[in-house]
Amino acid sequence: MTHDFPPLKNDRILKAAKGEKPDKLPVWIMRQAGRYLPEFMEFRKQHSFFEICQTPALACEVTLMPIRRYDLDASIIFSDILVIPQALGMTVEMKAGVGPVLPEPLTLENMDSLKKEGAVSRLKYVGEAITLTRHRLDGKVPLFGFSGAPWTLMGYMIEGGGSKTLSKAKKWLYAHPNESHRLLSLLTDVIIDYLIMQIEAGAQLIQVFDSSAEYLNKRLYEIFCLPYLKKIAQALKIHLKESNQDVILVLFAKGAHFCLEEQADLGYDVLGIDWTVEPKLVRSVLKNKNITIQGNLDPCALYAPKEEIVKMVTNMIDQFGTERYIVNLGHGIYPDAPIDAVQTFIDAVHSVKL
Ligand SMILES: Cc1c2[nH]c(c1CCC(=O)O)Cc1[nH]c(c(CCC(=O)O)c1C)Cc1[nH]c(c(CCC(=O)O)c1C)Cc1[nH]c(c(C)c1CCC(=O)O)C2
């Protein structure tokens, strides 16, 4: 599909992802388009969460909010990982102060009622938001599309929302492995088609969020996650090759420090690292892997005084080194992050001489 998008003016993140040298270190922030921005909170008084997700003009507006305010090097389309369970026929509510709630969680008995057929066509609005946003960005920075990973989606679907232990979803892994694989396969198929749709709509990078990886161990991750994450990367790479496109693939498996090497062999161009992992350890474990690292300032570091933030950022960059590196937080930004601290963070990154 040709879209005639405006030419890209800032390719720092694409360069870093491919192992080329950018003019400055690229920086963006997970969950940058949302809740900590006063303009977003104002916007949310007029529109419900899923109304914004499902209305391309509104999703585009929110995506652009942090780009107007800050000198970020990438944008990420406003949406949520839970639009997939929604498209599969599950009810998802966004409750103020609680987070996402799925009032009728998935069970062994009702899992066959998931509506795989047509799921991606019910997510067409995400593609439309991406295309519109690519035009409105006017080439200022590249645009990320994203999806939840199979295991993270499975967790929310079975738990019916967030959970401290994920014990209901993990029970499936231990007690019902066949049904778990059936569900993870179904989600993988939908995720692949969904991400291809986002690429065709104009996404220049894709991030897969496995935010619930931290609840598993190496054995469970090898059995129930790595094969599916690999299938996703391979299918996307085949699609990109056949359609002669160049799109960067990023995997953020939060807390999966028990299998960094295995993650590096899945076919993604970039690995996101959470803040609990030592930068030097990451670099030493992955030194022969030709992979770019993204991360990993503790989101809570933004509560520190300005001078401390600058010191922590400089120290982090020293430890990661400036090659094959994209600066980010080690998880999504929190709703009460001071907006000046975000500016300090970005300026500290961009002031590093390469
Ligand atoms: C686990 C997860 C979810 N959603 C997402 C993840 C993976 C990333 C991560 O681990 O943080 C991903 C996500 N959610 C949202 C984006 C938008 C783009 C961005 O700015 O990064 C992205 C990339 C918007 C959102 N998603 C949500 C909000 C706030 C809801 C509101 O405005 O009422 C936003 C802006 C709601 C949401 N959605 C989800 C939760 C747990 C919550 C409630 C807590 C919270 O606020 O983060 C599920």
Q: Is the pLDDT of residue 2 over 70?
A: no
Catalytic residue at 80? yes
Assess whether pLDDT exceeds 80 at residue 41.
yes
Residue 273: its pLDDT value, please?
Answer: 98
Distance from Cα 322 to the centre of ligand 1, integer Å: 29
- 295-315: average pLDDT: 98
Query: Is the Cβ atom of 263 under 6 angstroms away from ligand 1?
Result: no
Distance 80 CA to ligand 1 centre (A): 6
Structure ipTM: 0.94
122 has catalytic annotation: no
Mean pLDDT of the chain: 97
User: How large is the average pLDDT for residues 119-138?
Assistant: 98
Amino acid at 323: E
Considering the chain, what percentage of its residues have pLDDT values greater than 70?
Answer: 99
Q: Answer yes or no: are the C-beta atoms of 235 and 194 closer than 8 Å.
A: no
Cα–Cα distance measured from residue 153 to residue 35, given in angstroms and rounded to the nearest whole number: 22
95 lines ligand 1 (CB under 6 A): no
- pTM for this one? 0.97
Grouping H, G, I as helix, E, B as strand and the rest as coil, residue 144 is: strand
Average pLDDT of 87-100?
A: 96
- Per the residue annotation, which of 11, 73, 80, 189 is the catalytic one? 80
Q: Are 227 and 187 in contact (CB under 8 A)?
A: no
Length of the chain in residues, anyone? 354
What is the CB-side half-sphere exposure of residue 151 using CA atoms within 13 A? 28
Asked if the model's pLDDT at residue 108 lies above 60, the reply is yes
Domain ranges of the chain: 25-265
Q: Do the bridges between strand 93-95 and strand 143-148 make them parallel or antiparallel, or are there none, so unpaired?
A: unpaired
CATH fold for domain 25-265: TIM Barrel (3.20.20)
Q: Which atom belonging to ligand 1 lies closest to the Cα atom of 146?
A: 23
Quick check: CB of 209 below 6 Å from ligand 1?
yes
- The residue type found at 123 is L
Q: What value does the mean pLDDT take over residues 289-306?
A: 98
Q: How far is the CA of 31 from the centre of ligand 1 (A)?
A: 7
pLDDT at residue 34, rounded to an integer: 87
What is the per-residue pLDDT across 53-92, written as a single tens digit (0 to 9) for each?
A: 999 999 999 999 999 999 999 999 999 999 999 999 999 9
Whole-angstrom Cα distance, residue 182 to residue 184? 6
The verdict on the CB of residue 162 being under 6 Å from ligand 1 is yes
Q: How far is the CA of 318 from the centre of ligand 1 (A)?
A: 30
**What is the pLDDT confidence band of residue 1, given thresholds at 50, 70 and 90?**
low
Please confirm, yes or no, whether 31 is among the known catalytic residues.
yes
CB contact set of 343 (below 8 Å; sequence gap of 6+): 70
> Residue 347: what residue type?
D
